[in-house]
A and B are shown apart, each in its own frame.
Chain A
Amino acid sequence: MSKPLVTILGKAIRNIARLRGGGSALPGLVVEHIDPDFIKRTLATLPYGVVVISGTNGKTTTTKMVVELLESQGLKVFTNRTGSNFTRGVVAALLGDINIKGQLHADIAVLELDEAHAVSFVDKVPPRYSLILNVMRDQLDRFGEIDHITNLLRHIANATTDTVILNREDVRISSIKKSLDKQNVQFFGLDEKLLNLFPTDDNLHGHFVKPHNSFKADVVLSRFTNNSATFVIDDKKVYTKLKLNGVYNIFNAAAALTLVRTIIGKDLNQTKLINALSNISPAFGRGEILSVNGKPLELVLVKNPSGFRLGLESFCPTGYITMIAINDNYADGRDMSWLWDVNFSSLKKTGVRQISGVRAYDMALRLKYDDIPVKYIEPNIKKALKHFIDSAPKTPKRIYCTYTAMLNIRHELSKITKVEIIK
């Protein structure tokens, strides 16, 4: 089939799929099947090449940051904003953005890819830059072991043609450097005194292995508050206000800064860069703040022990009422073991107002064993959310939720407040 025809066909299927309210996978699937080189050929023309962002925690928000930071430097950026971080999602996003001749009007592509899908993607389209954020115990039922996930991430680094950006403080990630000989490597890192805020899975239970700090990091997060951060860049301290919250989001800002500095090089405008960073808001459901009855309602996505723990450490429960919604659908992970690796003691003083989700009773049982008071348990998310809001309409609220619970909650909230629609 000729190339314009593939494009037209793909675009048509995309429109039809949209009309019937379908997701982003179908058009991608069709185009992948009839023209396997579609992605490679389309992305090959970009002057700044392709960037792949992967790792277990924080991909979506980091990708959003990198896109906005690159835009601050005047680049036109293509990205897979649909949140469909599989190859098919990338094809679907491409189909929306290319013209009928199959050309993509962009300077660079920044793609968030799931660890497993990234491997087959980079084999087809070697990225010029890759950013590897971290590797945490996540969805072991899908991916097997942490060491296996590390190998997938190493594969991405190896396929990169120019520069790989690595997390200096995650030992499994920083050690990927050893297997890279033809790539440049840059690190992002943390000041020593912040290290204890970011325990890795190896020190989940009080056993603290200090990451080796011998590599010099391009950008170091040296301190932060709820709404500001100080980074060390080129041995100079740079202070900025932030709309981002959550310690993991702020650390990943250091990752995004390192990547963008690497891509832009000597032409970088740092004032514009930091200014753009200060205006970035978190991606949906990742510390996102909605407004209900004029009061904030925060959504914090939790999907693995480290993420949940960092979430609990990031947000002080005082002055808020807390809800936790745990589902065990395929996208959440079916195994509930991970709840037992989270320490909930920070909720002891305030307790938890409402528990919900398919596995509400598992969550309640977990809290019982940590002596955390729980007020209401209602597995049905719609009912639980209504009850949670009505029980204290004028109090700020925070909801920790797994992925499908979050989709459910956002859907319900969209009926009573403004919620950004994710296509």
Chain B
Amino acid sequence: MNDKVITILHLYSHDMNIYGDHGNVLTLQKRLQWHGYDSKIIEYNRGDKFPDDVDIIVGGGGQDSGQNKIQKDLLSIGPRLIELAEKGVPMLVICGLYQLFGKFFKTSDGETIEGIGLLDIETYGESERLIGNIITHSEQFGDIIGYENHSGQTFLGHQVVALGTVRIGAGNNLVDISEGVRYKNVIGSYLHGSLLPKNPAIADYLIEQAVVNKYGEFNGKIINDSLTNLARRVAMKRPR
């Protein structure tokens, strides 16, 4: 273990943690350790002071009530988040925060919930919930495996690209076959399950970006992921 420390910021851990988002934070923490780095976790919740030094940001999904609670606070820290994203800080936002990192969420009642506009995406609430096991594919990360459960349908603008192409499942919407989003080092996705434990390539990508940003180079170790691969193989065979 060297004395290099990576700070992970967990956004709204109290209100937005519904689908095992803790698993994403834990995966980053443990893999940093296995790669030989120390980690520090800061939880950011409504009304907290936004920390000065942040290396990775993780945010999760919430219930509608949770999203309503954090929306105002999120808008207030939006400019800071955008500044960090533009500087290349790696971020992972799932489900609810994925939507609110976009331009807006228009509910099925026609109400428009403003997002922070960090991502060039728009989300529309629909009556049908898209639920089930999902597999997508990315050139960089290979097969991405998870579980989706959302009624918002998200459409990507020109400034962003999809995280993956849907092989089984719904993904961002029922119109195209995109799932998730990438912009600079920011990744958004509907996948929980949790996402990072079964998709360590994404976890290692976030870690590498953070370490390079902070220390100039990344000297990771080879991690034995045989158990992960067995879990992935089983998950890929399960019904939707």
Residues of A with Cβ closer than 8 Å to B?
A: 137, 140-141, 144-147, 202, 204-205, 207, 328, 334-341, 358-362, 364-366, 368-370, 379
Q: Does B13 contact A (CB under 8 A)?
A: yes
Of listed A204, A359, A361, residue having the most chain B CB within 10 A? A361
Check B238 for interface membership: any CB of A closer than 8 A: yes
Complex Cα spacing A328 to B132, Å: 12
Please tell me if the beta carbons of B132 and A336 are within 8 angstroms of each other in the complex: no
Interface residue tally for chain B (C-beta within 8 Å): 38
Bound-state CA distance A176–B147 (Å) is 32
Interface of chain B residues 141 through 178 with chain A (CB within 8 A): 147, 149
Known: A147-B64, A205-B17, A334-B147. A340 touches B234 (CB 8 A): no
Question: Are A359 and B234 in contact, CB atoms less than 8 angstroms apart?
Answer: yes
- B19 is an interface residue with CB less than 8 A from chain A: yes
A204 touches B17 (CB 8 A): yes
Instruction: Give complex CA distance A253, B197 in Å.
Output: 38
Contact of A339 with B234 at beta-carbon distance under 8 Å, contacts A141-B131, A145-B63, A369-B30 already known: no
The verdict on B22 contacting chain A, using a C-beta distance below 8 Å, is yes
Q: In the bound complex, do residue B14 and residue A335 qualify as a contact, i.e. CB atoms below 8 Å apart?
A: no
Binary contact track B18-50/A, C-beta < 8 Å → 1, others 0: 111111001100100000000000010100000
Interchain CB contact under 8 A, B132 and A334: yes
One of A147, A207, A335, A369 near B149 (C-beta < 8 A): A335
What is the CB-to-nearest-CB distance from A336 to chain B, in angstroms, rounded to a whole number? Answer: 6
Expressed in whole angstroms, the Cα–Cα distance for A137 and B194 within the complex equals: 15
Query: Least Cβ distance of B120 to chain A in Å?
Result: 28
Known: A207-B14, A336-B193, A369-B30. A379 touches B234 (CB 8 A): yes
- In Å, the complex CA distance between A337 and B145 comes to 12
Decide if B238 touches A337 in the complex (CB within 8 Å): no
The reply to whether A337 and B23 form a contact with Cβ atoms under 8 Å apart is yes
Collect the chain B residues with CB atoms within 8 Å of residue A358's CB. 234, 238
Interface of A is mostly: helix
Contact with B19, one of A147, A337, A370 (Cβ below 8 angstroms): A337
Q: Which residue of the partner chain B has the closest CB to A336?
A: B193
Query: Using Cβ atoms and an 8 Å threshold, which residues of chain A touch B65?
Result: 147
| Contact string against A for B residues 77-121, beta-carbon threshold 8 Å, 1 for contact and 0 otherwise | 000000000000000000000000000000000000000000000
Task: Kindly list chain A residues whose C-beta atoms are within 8 Å of the C-beta of B20.
Answer: 336-341
Beta-carbon nearest neighbor of A339 in chain B? B20
Q: How far is the CA of A361 from the CA of B238 in the complex (A)?
A: 13
Residues in B whose Cβ lies below 8 Å from that of A360: 234
| B63 A146 Cβ-Cβ under 8 A | yes
Q: B138 contacts the other chain (Cβ, under 8 Å)?
A: no
Among A145, A336, A358, A369, the most chain B Cβ lie within 10 Å of the Cβ of A336
Residues of B within 8 A of A140 (CB): 18-19, 149
Cβ of B198 within 8 Å of any chain A Cβ, yes or no, is yes
Partner among B22, B64, B147, B227 whose Cβ is within 8 Å of the Cβ of A335: B147
Q: B221 contacts the other chain (Cβ, under 8 Å)?
A: no
Collect the chain B residues with CB atoms within 8 Å of residue A328's CB.
238
Chain B residues with CB under 8 A of A340: 20-23, 26, 194, 197
Q: A204-B22, A205-B22 are in contact. List 10 more A-B contacts (CB 8 A).
A: A145-B64, A205-B14, A205-B43, A336-B20, A337-B192, A341-B22, A361-B230, A361-B233, A362-B234, A366-B197
Query: Could you tell me if A141 and B231 are in contact, using CB atoms closer than 8 angstroms?
Result: no
